[in-house]
Amino acid sequence: PAAGHDDLTLVRPLLRLSRRDTEAYCLAAGASYVEDVSNRSRAFLRNRVRNEALPYLRQYNRRLDAALNRLADAARSDLAYIESVAAQAVESKGGRAAVSRARLRGWPPSLRRHALRLALLSLVGDIQGFSERHLKALEAAAVGGRTGARLDLATQVAANNDYEIAH
């Protein structure tokens, strides 16, 4: 369901299917589809990539779509593993999230940020208001900040350092 429109259900096209395949499926299933007129606008980068860059690259690699799908599969698999490891440092309960500072110190920056991102996600449900700058500041505070330090972040979130826990 679409937020604010209880009577409307949006279905996003599956990435593995071409537009032609998606339209054929809708036709066969008796479902209608609507194309947003903004999809044709050159004003949006995503459209310039879809309508200009990808067709150009397909001239050099006819199997570009299959290669991009393999890359997406590999990235999805890697991300699932990284997030499962990162989750080991995060404990969420009672509207708070705690992260082991000792564990973070032993991890590379990308894994640290994944753990901190998961902690933020458990607190606010949506991390749209947080930028990479926020994550780097949070990482610096959790890993190298002094005990008792406080960091105020966007959307009413504050981080505090205890001896071995950032929360």
Average pLDDT for residues 75-84, to the nearest whole number? 94
Q: Tell me the average pLDDT across 114-124.
A: 86
**Which token pair is 118?**
């998961």
d(CA 22, CA 20): 5
Of residues 104 and 156, more confidence is placed in 104
Confidence check: pLDDT of 62 > 90: yes
Smallest CA-to-CA distance from 114 within 82, 92, 91, 146 is with: 82
| H-run or E-run covering 76 | helix 64-86
**What is the distance between the alpha carbons of residues 90 and 70, in angstroms, rounded to a whole number?**
31
Length of the chain: 167
pTM for this entry: 0.67
CB 115 within 8 A of CB 84: no
Average pLDDT on 1-6 reads 64
Contact 161, 142 (CB under 8 A): yes
Q: Which amino acid is at 80?
A: A
pLDDT tier at 126, thresholds 50, 70, 90: confident
Min mean pLDDT across 10-14, 139-143, 146-150 is at 10-14
